[in-house]
Amino acid sequence: MKKYIHIFLNFFIRLAELKRKPSLNWAAKAILGAALATLLSSSFSLEIPVPALDTTLTLGGGDLFTFFVLLVIVLIMFGYTEYRDVREADDSILTIVRHMGLVDNEIDDLRSYLPKKLKRIRPQNFVMAYENSNKTSNIDDLNKQLEHICRIPIFLSDTGRASNNANKHIAYGGVAPVPMLAAAGHIISNMQNVYIGDWERQKKRWHFNSQFDDGEELVFHVDGDDNADAESVSLAVSFSIPVNIKCIHDEFSESPLHVVTLESGEHKYDRLCSEEKQDRLAITILEY
């Protein structure tokens, strides 16, 4: 029940934020609603006698002139917003970064799943493809991948300029070893207007983290002895798939191991499909 209450509250918070920054489309929709109400009222007439005042109230029965005026205004507003969106798309730059480092098997193009506001923009592609790189132990091959990742900012600066930074967008989709994803995240997270696509292995599709925060909390515990005098600690964050605790103990035997899991204790691929939830949990881990 707590989960659904949290989702419900987040829905209204997001709705309130939209109303606080109303767009021209919102205004057009409101006027369209008024126009339809005018049309509906013109189709019937209801008279209500009021004996105490010796009069009769008449509801409806209006003419269609007001409806047509409002309809013309709505069409003008929608036409203007469409024109403005097309102009903005023409002046925008979208870079799609495809980062493949595992088995690139039936993984769709990220472009087919872009948010609506990005679909008008003609994209340019930056592809990093290193199949089965998770099995690579050659340091030169790994350095080559890192050098490729570090070229992302250079590619962005060399492939065109928008009139302002607000019109530059990046869509990133990666299925690669965690260290390489972390390296790409370090580069891209410093940029603005970044959209992260997450590949759903079971449903075989990309999605963006647009779901509502369900309020789920984290659980922290120490696995083994908690040596307060240790010079370092190990942190195992386990959300999507279980972490091999034994391997961490074997590799970092001198460090106390702190394990972080979701309070449900479940490991699923769809537990972090909310940007708000990701930000909240990241802050919780940093504060810990």
Report phi then psi at 162, rounded to 5. -90, 165
User: Is 2 domain-assigned?
Assistant: no
Do 101 and 145 form a contact (C-beta atoms < 8 A)?
yes
Domain shared by 54 and 137, yes or no: no
Domain shared by 128 and 194, yes or no: yes
Tens-digit pLDDT profile for residues 182-232? 999 999 988 888 999 988 887 888 988 877 788 888 989 888 887 777 888
Domain shared by 62 and 149, yes or no: no
User: Is 190 domain-assigned?
Assistant: yes
Q: What is the pLDDT of residue 75?
A: 79
User: Is 6 domain-assigned?
Assistant: no
Domain shared by 154 and 190, yes or no: yes
Between residues 68 and 4, the one the model is more confident about: 68
- Tokens 């802050």 map to which residue? 283
Q: What is the pLDDT of residue 23?
A: 62
Domain shared by 204 and 97, yes or no: yes
Give the total number of structural domains in the chain. Answer: 3
The reported pTM is 0.65
Q: What is the pLDDT of residue 172?
A: 94
Between residues 82 and 183, the one the model is more confident about: 183
Q: Structural domain of residue 35, as residue ranges?
A: 19-87
Tens-digit pLDDT profile for residues 55-66? 665 555 556 666
pLDDT band at 158 (very low <50, low <70, confident <90, very high): confident
Of 77-91, 137-151, 203-217, 220-234, the least confident: 77-91
